[in-house]
A and B are shown apart, each in its own frame.
Chain A
Amino acid sequence: MSQTSDISTSPSNPLHGDAGHGGDHHVHDPHVAHHFDSMGQQVDAGKLGMWVFLATEILMFGGLFCAYAVYRGNHPEVFAYAHHYLDTSLGALNTVILIASSLTMAWAVRCSQLGKQRALLICLVLTLLGGFGFLCVKTIEYNHKAHTGKWIGSANMYHPKYVADKRDEKGKLKAPQEKNEANDAKGSGEAPVGGGVTTPAASTDGPDRSAIAAPAAGPAGVSASILDEDHAKAAHAAGHTMTYEDLPKAEQERVHIFFQIYYLMTGLHSFHVILGMFLIFWLVVRAAKPGDRKWIVPLFPAAMGLFLVYVGIVTHSTGVMISGVVIAGLLGLYALWRVRGGAGESDQAGDFGPTYFAPVDIVGLYWHLVDLIWIFLFPLLYLIH
């Protein structure tokens, strides 16, 4: 607590009060911007800004957690069923990877505060590797779901397959009564005739589509009334032994809503991981000696290229694999060319030290927030009882 009072009193410090703008400490320390009185004040302002940003991040994820809570409250059985298709051990592995990378990040902050240049670099690279590890595991998970019919597209209204139908059905989607008509007709064993639906393909699809359209658009609870009760009972009776492929179409699409929430939450989270990795790479470059930066700079895009190769191998996608090889190869050659070109004469230290470590600190806060969000996502998505 002592440093808090020190920081808050420093602007009124007589040394600074007299110096004013253009004081000689600006010459001594290029890291303090001219509109700040002291490093303490600058660090404090930066941290405050970062915390406000983190609060907005939490609020943004709060919207997704809200969607999760409402849908789970209305359809606990769908969640209990669908989470069996998530691999708990892979989720736990990712949790451990993220926690470990949080540890190395916190250690990197410590190293930068103490001016340990080499240890700082090692910690940052380890954190970066943690990010890659997380994405590698995530790729395996996403790929497995994509190959078992649980990917985002196939049951999604915005999938190209549905675009033509959607145009036909516009009137139908606007009027909810007709959805019920269609459902009643199906319940009584007759094909729906009204509702402006004339093509046979559309009439068989109709009731099922209305079942997914409802929870996505209106209050999620609406779907409970529309769902065919016999289907619901069949699913309940069968319990978890029923495989996804054997489910009635309406149930499959309800399960899809779980997966869409899953993809939105984990996808947004993975996006944050990728963003954090770029920021950490920026730190790696700045923490390195200026003479080393010329070969470090192409390293990260090259690593991204290798990651693309990995994604290509996992998803059996030759295009992704080739683009990864091209990126990694070109950047590797570029790095070699640059290293050969100029001798590293500069032996200065990296940018960070005891007097200047705010970037490490603030990127660290971001990385820990990513970890925090995963700490909540993991039990909520993977560990439903």
Chain B
Amino acid sequence: MSQSSEHHDTAGHEGFHPHVVSPRVLLTVFGILLVLTMLTVAVTKIDLGKLNVWIALIIAVAKAGVVGLYFMHLRYDRPFHGIILVVSLMFVALFIGIALMDSDAYQPNLQGKPAASEAMP
């Protein structure tokens, strides 16, 4: 992207060549997001048992990935910004995962009423 350097001649801007996303890419991403939104609504109407949640989440992750890569410029950005994003998501996954494991671990204690009243000190 060299056109930005031709627009100015002041010092302090050499080495500053921001990436400009083309309209074609922007519109393609918009189309993909709309299609995926329709897909995630449509797939709810089919009964796949537990798979439904996972399909919905996979579609959401795909949409988030496209938004992040193109709308948020991650694809053209320094990789470190992407690392920050991925690390924060990993911590969220860790948080939710361990909370769910904890919640599951208590389930046997909570199945019947008598057991529950004994379990509660």
Give me the interface of A with B, judged by CB distance under 8 Å. Answer: 2-4, 6-7, 9-10, 13, 15-16, 19, 23-26, 28-29, 32, 37-40, 43-44, 47-48, 51-52, 54-56, 58-59, 62-63, 65-66, 69-70, 73-74, 88, 92, 95-96, 99-100, 102-103, 105-107, 109-110, 113-115, 176-177, 180, 183, 219-222, 224-226, 229, 353-355, 357, 361, 364-365, 368-369, 371-372, 375-376, 378-380, 383-385
Question: Contacts A23-B11, A70-B103, A355-B13; is A372 near B64 (CB within 8 Å)?
Answer: yes
User: Could you tell me if A180 and B120 are in contact, using CB atoms closer than 8 angstroms?
Assistant: yes
| Supplied contacts A28-B12, A63-B95, A225-B117, 17 more A-B pairs, CB within 8 Å | A10-B14, A13-B14, A13-B15, A23-B11, A29-B10, A48-B81, A54-B85, A58-B85, A69-B99, A99-B33, A103-B71, A177-B120, A183-B113, A355-B4, A371-B67, A375-B60, A380-B56
Closest to A19 in B: B11
Chain A: interface secondary structure? helix
Closest to A376 in B: B60
Closest to A358 in B: B18
Cβ–Cβ < 8 Å partners of B106 in chain A: 219, 221
A252 to chain B, nearest CB (A): 21
CA distance A58 to B93 in the complex (A): 11
Contact among A55, A364, A384 for B84, CB-based, below 8 A: A55
Chain B: interface secondary structure? helix
26 contacts between A and B (CB under 8 A): A3-B1, A3-B16, A24-B11, A29-B10, A38-B12, A54-B84, A55-B85, A58-B92, A62-B95, A65-B96, A70-B99, A88-B44, A99-B30, A102-B33, A102-B67, A106-B70, A219-B102, A225-B112, A226-B116, A353-B7, A355-B10, A375-B63, A378-B40, A379-B44, A380-B56, A385-B47
Of all A-B residue pairs in the complex, the 3 with the closest CB atoms, nearest first, are A225-B116, A10-B15, A62-B92
User: Could you tell me if B100 and A385 are in contact, using CB atoms closer than 8 angstroms?
Assistant: no
Closest to B84 in A: A51
Of the candidates B29, B57, B64, B70, the one having the most CB atoms from chain A within 10 angstroms of its own CB is: B64
User: Could you tell me if A38 and B57 are in contact, using CB atoms closer than 8 angstroms?
Assistant: no
User: Could you tell me if B77 and A47 are in contact, using CB atoms closer than 8 angstroms?
Assistant: yes
CA distance A291 to B116 in the complex (A): 71
Question: Contacts A6-B17, A371-B67, A385-B44; is A55 near B87 (CB within 8 Å)?
Answer: yes
B54 to chain A, nearest CB (A): 11
CA distance A372 to B70 in the complex (A): 13
A80 to chain B, nearest CB (A): 11
CA distance A125 to B54 in the complex (A): 37
A112 to chain B, nearest CB (A): 10
Contact among A3, A222, A353 for B110, CB-based, below 8 A: A222
User: Could you tell me if A58 and B89 are in contact, using CB atoms closer than 8 angstroms?
Assistant: yes
User: Could you tell me if B91 and A62 are in contact, using CB atoms closer than 8 angstroms?
Assistant: yes
Closest to A11 in B: B15
Closest to B7 in A: A354
User: Could you tell me if B17 and A2 are in contact, using CB atoms closer than 8 angstroms?
Assistant: yes
